[in-house]
Amino acid sequence: MSDRQLADWRQLALKLESEVNKVVVGQSNPIRLITTSIFARGHVLLEGDVGVGKTTLLRAIARGVGGAYQRIEGTIDLMPNDLVYHTYLGEDGKPHVSPGPILEAGEDLSIFFFNEINRARPQVHSLLLRVMAERTLTAFNKEHNFPHMLVFADRNQVEKEETFDIPSAARDRFMMEIPIVVPQDKDIMESLVFDTRFHNVDQLVGGVAESILQYKDLNGFAAMVQDSVTASPTLRKYALDLWRATKAPMDYGVKVSGVDMNRLVLSGASPRGMSMLLAAARVNAWLNERDTVLPDDIHAVFHETIAHRLVFSPVYEMRRGEIAREMLDGIVNSVAAP
Amino acid sequence: MLPRFNDVIHMLLIVCALCFSQQLLADVKLPTIDEQYVDIKVEDPKRDAGYVVGDILNRKVTITVKKPYQLIKESLPIVGYEHRYKGQVSGVELISIKSPSTKNDAGETYVLDLSYQVFKTGRAVKPAALNPEVLKMRNTAKKKQTVQYALPLFKFRISPLSVIGQVRLDREMYPFTPPLTLDSSPVIFKLKALAVVLALALLGLLYILGSRAWLPRMGAPFAKAFRDIKKMDDSPAGIKQAVTRVHTALNKTAGASLFNNNLAAFVAEKPAFALAKPAIEQFLGLSNQVFFADASQALKNNDPKAWLLKLCRTLRDCERGLVPDMAADGAKA
């Protein structure tokens, strides 16, 4: 039964990937990582420049996953209650209150997209963190549940004005931070510019098959994946070594050019981060038709699940992306398995 | 006015008398010089037999004539002079002479380079000798005293020419003549060269097959791993240890932990391992089975230790810059 289910769901996952790959070209790796997050039930932070297709990608994913999709734009004057309710004067001239984007779809909310999250104030982050962690929200004297909700947020790291850095505790709630970069393939670049198919986003996203996944079954199936894919003692040791190396890279001979390694890391990966890493690795193994986690599965998600959790000395924060990549590459190269 | 007949006869008689007296003078045997006034060193031909008509014998005589004596240069042998030996024409003729000299405090030293050619043959071996040259010296203190010095005689044997079909060497050979030898130096040189090639080839073979660490790159990671794995047992624990050992060698060679996802970069950086890429992939698959999946399944297959040893040898060839024999290492783990 479970083997059959695993295979059937794998087909659905691959179909979702295939559908999204049709409309968002040159992003097969981010799409695989988002698929992994969906089945590992982890929230995703997308990072990339303006206009690289982050929103299109998420809309396409949301359409394929099914369920309700809500979106909010991060602005400097956005307040937490803007996520929960709207107030307005109705046609009858009386004040009315209607549910905000989080509450509107209720339990059917499957994807909540927070655009430009770093433009929102920390108060908003705080509310969102609770929703992300507990998938519940107390409003109007009632606790609302969002059991199927995944949060996809994006941020533009280039612009710094009127932005609020996401604190490490908030970053840690996201399973992955996935960079979205412009494809370098010449043909893809040309088609993005000259193929009119890519100019109308609504029409483009409309081309994705709807509700490929039964989103209400995702939680149950995700638990099944986690149960059915095993990690051997050697792999556990390897993962623990990786974890230790994120905390004390010097002990593993990891060096980053132009960086004093003694001062670099204030905090390595968190236990939650490591458990998310293994959850994502298990899904990657399942997607690759395996029932055991290999080091390659960990490597496939290592950067995206760990890099945003590292806390560096403030002096190195400006070069975070570059330093984190070099350090994590060094860790993968230094830690042996077996 | 024409001379008279008697005067002509008279003059002819005088001329004949003078010539005859000169001949008499030449044949006069002079006293031998005291040995203390002469230092002589003779370099004779190396062999004293086996000469045939046309052969040239070289003789070098270094003679120092001490004061007050002085060599009369006219007494040096003359080229082309027909010499007789035991009353017969000797058939050995001086064909060139060089006689440079240097003066010193004791006297004068002459280096006589004499070349003789044999103009004699026969059906049997005949004795012969180089011309017994006699040098004459003048005592400069006593103007009238002239002495002589006979150079040591060099005797040799003249052999008949061998005509193909008429001569059988075993019958005709002079019993005291050593057998004619072929020039063996080219053969010896060739033999030595081949011995060197053979030694290099053996060294190369030893280098390829050897598992010791006393040659360059023999102590490289896979050479060491090969030696270590040979000592490990076939038990599941031994196989795990062997796989770990290969991992260690791979990581050391790559300078990083090697996995499937950085294998292509490794091969690009070290093209010597390009041919072994499929074997490395196969190894990583085996390692995944042993350490991360169902190890018992992997160990059931045919002799993983033997396959690991073959893999190590293949990778050892790669690290030594040799082309691995992939056909021989194609056994599946």
* Inter-chain residue contact B259 with A295, CB threshold 8 Å: yes
CA distance to partner chain A, nearest, from residue B314 (Å)? 22
- Per-residue confidence (pLDDT) for residue B25, from 0 to 100: 45
Residue B326 lies in a domain: no
Residue B64 lies in a domain: yes
- Per-residue confidence (pLDDT) for residue A150, from 0 to 100: 93
Using CA coordinates, name the residue in chain A closest to B251: A336
Residue B179 scores a pLDDT above 50: yes
Residue B20 lies in a domain: no
Number of folded domains in chain B? 2
**Which residue stretches of A135-200 are H helix?**
168-173, 186-194
The C-alpha atoms of residue B326 and residue A283 are separated, in whole angstroms, by 36
Q: Which CATH architecture has domain A2-221?
A: 3-Layer(aba) Sandwich (3.40)
Consecutive H or E run containing B200: helix B185-209
Residue B4 lies in a domain: no
- Per-residue confidence (pLDDT) for residue B129, from 0 to 100: 86
**pLDDT, tens digit, for every residue of B138-175?**
988 877 788 999 998 899 998 887 667 776 666 666 66
Residue B112 scores a pLDDT above 50: yes
Contact at 8 Å (CB) between A37 and A44? yes
Candidates B291, B294, B296: best to mutate against A (most CBs of A within 10 A) is B291
Do residue B236 and residue B165 come from a single domain?
A: no
- The percentage of chain B sitting over the pLDDT mark of 90, rounded to a whole number, equals 28
Do residue B237 and residue B159 come from a single domain?
A: no
- The percentage of chain A sitting over the pLDDT mark of 90, rounded to a whole number, equals 49
Do residue B47 and residue B166 come from a single domain?
A: yes
Candidates A278, A282, A292: best to mutate against B (most CBs of B within 10 A) is A292
**pLDDT, tens digit, for every residue of A259-279?**
888 889 898 899 999 999 999
Residue B17 scores a pLDDT above 80: no
Q: What is the mean pLDDT of chain B?
A: 82
Model ipTM? 0.80
Alpha carbon distance, N-terminus to C-terminus of chain A: 33
Residue B244 lies in a domain: yes
**pLDDT, tens digit, for every residue of A159-190?**
777 788 888 888 889 999 999 988 888 888 88
* Inter-chain residue contact A338 with B260, CB threshold 8 Å: no
Residue B55 scores a pLDDT above 80: yes
A229: chain B residues, CB-CB within 8 Å: none
Mean pLDDT across the stretch B292-310? 78
Residue B196 scores a pLDDT above 60: yes
Q: Where are the domains of chain A?
A: 2-221, 229-334
**pLDDT, tens digit, for every residue of B62-83?**
999 998 899 998 889 888 877 7
Do residue B48 and residue B97 come from a single domain?
A: yes
Do residue B39 and residue B166 come from a single domain?
A: yes
Mean pLDDT across the stretch B177-202? 89
Query: In the CATH scheme, what is the code of domain A229-334?
Result: 1.10.8.80
The pLDDT confidence band at residue B327, using thresholds 50, 70 and 90, is low
Mean pLDDT across the stretch B5-28? 59
The C-alpha atoms of residue A330 and residue A254 are separated, in whole angstroms, by 5
- Per-residue confidence (pLDDT) for residue B116, from 0 to 100: 92
CATH of the domain at B41: 2.60.40
- Per-residue confidence (pLDDT) for residue B169, from 0 to 100: 66
Burial of A75 (0-12, 13-18, 19+ CB in 10 A): middle
Residue A327 scores a pLDDT above 70: yes
The pLDDT confidence band at residue B331, using thresholds 50, 70 and 90, is very low
Residue B199 lies in a domain: no
Mean pLDDT across the stretch B172-195? 83
Nearest by CB: A294 against B243, B251, B288: B288
- Select from B300, B292, B329 the least CA-distant residue to B312: B329
Residue B80 lies in a domain: yes
Mean pLDDT across the stretch B274-298? 86
Nearest by CB: A338 against B247, B255, B294: B247
Query: Which chain A residues have any C-beta within 8 angstroms of a chain B C-beta?
Result: 231-232, 234-235, 290, 292-296, 299-300, 332-338
Residue B260 scores a pLDDT above 70: yes
Do residue B50 and residue B143 come from a single domain?
A: yes
Residue A137 scores a pLDDT above 80: yes
The C-alpha atoms of residue B222 and residue A268 are separated, in whole angstroms, by 35
- Residue B77: give the domain boundaries: 35-172
